């Protein structure tokens, strides 16, 4: 990851527009050189503080600027987090991601956040948090508590960003990502497709991500989930093939990163998801809820993983022919 190639829009655009099967072949070859081809990393997501966010991200159900009908919730207590993490562990997830609708955490919240990290790690899960912008002191505290990953997305190109968020700048995001990188916490950073951006903006986002000081270990690619009440509620749907091409290009540009097929999977059929996996996506959020919106049910995902013979680290231990759906659900609940 350190001897990485420097990417520019011209070269990346040429690859993006290759004939579809040539692009898929190149992405699959890159994937097989760097990863086990039939392995899927699974993370479970939990919202630890919901709604009333002071930022104005035009796609988000949680911004206080839009009337989305969301029920807001203050920072939840430790027991709720531990219980959710135990359930996640039972279902075979290997990483537990905790998200808060904040511009930045307050110092008074840090002790609770640190306890959440410690307790979740004690269950044998990797930890990830996404809490907004961080100062140096906060990054160090999270690193010392043992946080494994921090999610902080660039979302779109630097050129298009001001059309999506006005309460912070692209540079603010880059600064926080660099702080995380320097602290030793692994970086999770990606974007969303469907914000009204052009293909060039999507490629420019990947150029930004691939030219960070080190590639993010994890790159979530979200498909916009249209939220009623936000300025993006009537956005045009992204073409499926353009979406798959962006996954393939992400794999080629960041060959060692886990590419996560993130929000929007609920609206993708099995064939679309399989093409995304073939293009190099090797990570998903698992469980019927993302932060505030829904995700495919676990049994739908298990059926899909079985059809594709995909292994997750633990799921193959609990999902086998002898286990009835009811037993599986009991384990998952
Ligand atoms: N508040 C923190 C922040 O913005 O960094 C963390 C949570 S935020 C919900 C994490 C990411 O989820 C966003 O950067 C965005 O990429 C994605 N996201 C949020 N709402 C979405 C939506 N409606 N559709 C698709 N992705 C979404
Ligand atoms: C990311 O890129 N996608 C996740 C995670 N990082 C935190 C969040 C998706 C949120 C989808 C909308 C919702 O459920 O509110
Ligand atoms: Fe707040 Fe994050 Fe939603 Fe933006 S994406 S409004 S920062 S919760």
What does the alpha-carbon distance between residue 100 and residue 131 come to, in Å, rounded to a whole number?
5
Kindly give the interhelix angle for 240-253 and 199-210, rounded to the nearest 10 degrees: 20
Residue 173 Cα to ligand 2 middle (Å): 16
What does the alpha-carbon distance between residue 228 and residue 172 come to, in Å, rounded to a whole number?
28
What would the pLDDT profile of 300-329 be if each residue is shown by its tens digit?
Answer: 998 999 899 888 865 444 444 444 444 443
Using CB distances shorter than 6 Å, the residues near ligand 2 are: 45, 61, 99, 130, 151, 153, 190, 220, 222, 225, 262-263, 290-293
- What per-residue confidence (pLDDT) applies to 289? 86
Residue 165 Cα to ligand 3 middle (Å): 9
Task: Decide if 288 is catalytic.
Answer: no
Residue indicated by tokens 């290759």: 18
Residues of the chain with pLDDT under 50: 1, 315-333
CATH class name, domain 39-327: alpha beta
Task: Decide if 108 is catalytic.
Answer: no
| The three-state (H, E, C) secondary structure of 116-140, written as one string | HHHHHHHCCCEEEEECCCCCHHHHH
Q: Which residue among 168, 181, 188, 202 is the active-site one?
A: 188
pTM of the model: 0.92
Residue 122 Cα to ligand 3 middle (Å): 29
What would the pLDDT profile of 196-235 be if each residue is shown by its tens digit?
Answer: 999 999 999 999 999 999 999 999 999 999 999 999 999 9
Residue 18 tokens, joined:
């290759």
What are residue 130's DSSP bridge partners? 99
Task: Decide if 57 is catalytic.
Answer: yes
What are residue 220's DSSP bridge partners? 260
How is the chain split into domains, by residue range? Answer: 39-327
- What per-residue confidence (pLDDT) applies to 90? 86
Task: Decide if 128 is catalytic.
Answer: yes
Residue 167 tokens, joined:
């309460």
């Amino acid at each position: 990851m350190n001897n990485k190639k420097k990417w520019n829009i011209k070269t990346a655009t040429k690859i993006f527009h290759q004939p579809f099967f040539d692009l898929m072949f190149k992405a699959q070859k890159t994937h097989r050189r760097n990863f086990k081809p039939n392995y899927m990393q699974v993370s479970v997501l939990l919202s630890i503080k919901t709604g009333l966010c002071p930022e104005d991200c035009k796609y988000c159900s949680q911004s206080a600027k839009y009337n989305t009908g969301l029920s807001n919730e203050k920072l939840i207590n430790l027991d709720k987090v531990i219980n959710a993490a135990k359930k996640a562990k039972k279902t075979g997830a290997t990483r537990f991601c905790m998200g808060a609708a904040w511009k930045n955490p307050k110092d008074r919240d840090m002790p609770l956040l640190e306890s959440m990290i410690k307790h979740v790690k004690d269950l044998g899960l990797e930890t990830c948090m996404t809490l907004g912008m961080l100062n140096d002191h906060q990054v160090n505290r999270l690193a010392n508590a043992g946080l494994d990953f921090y999610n902080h997305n660039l979302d779109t190109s630097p050129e298009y960003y001001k059309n999506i968020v006005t309460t912070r700048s692209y540079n603010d995001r880059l600064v926080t990502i660099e702080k995380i990188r320097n602290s030793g916490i692994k970086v999770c950073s990606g974007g969303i497709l469907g914000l009204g951006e052009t293909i060039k903006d999507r490629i420019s986002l990947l150029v930004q991500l691939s030219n960070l000081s080190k590639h993010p270990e994890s790159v979530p690619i979200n498909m916009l989930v249209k939220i009623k009440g936000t300025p993006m509620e009537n956005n045009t749907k992204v073409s499926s093939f353009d979406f798959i091409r962006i996954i393939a290009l992400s794999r080629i540009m960041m060959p060692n990163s886990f590419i996560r097929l993130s929000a929007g999977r609920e609206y993708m059929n099995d064939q679309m998801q399989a093409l995304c996996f073939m293009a190099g996506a090797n990570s998903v959020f698992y469980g019927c809820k993302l932060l505030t919106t829904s995700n495919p049910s676990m049994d739908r995902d298990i059926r899909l993983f079985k059809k594709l013979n995909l292994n997750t680290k633990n799921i193959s231990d609990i999902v086998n022919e002898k286990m009835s759906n009811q037993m599986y659900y009991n384990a998952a609940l």
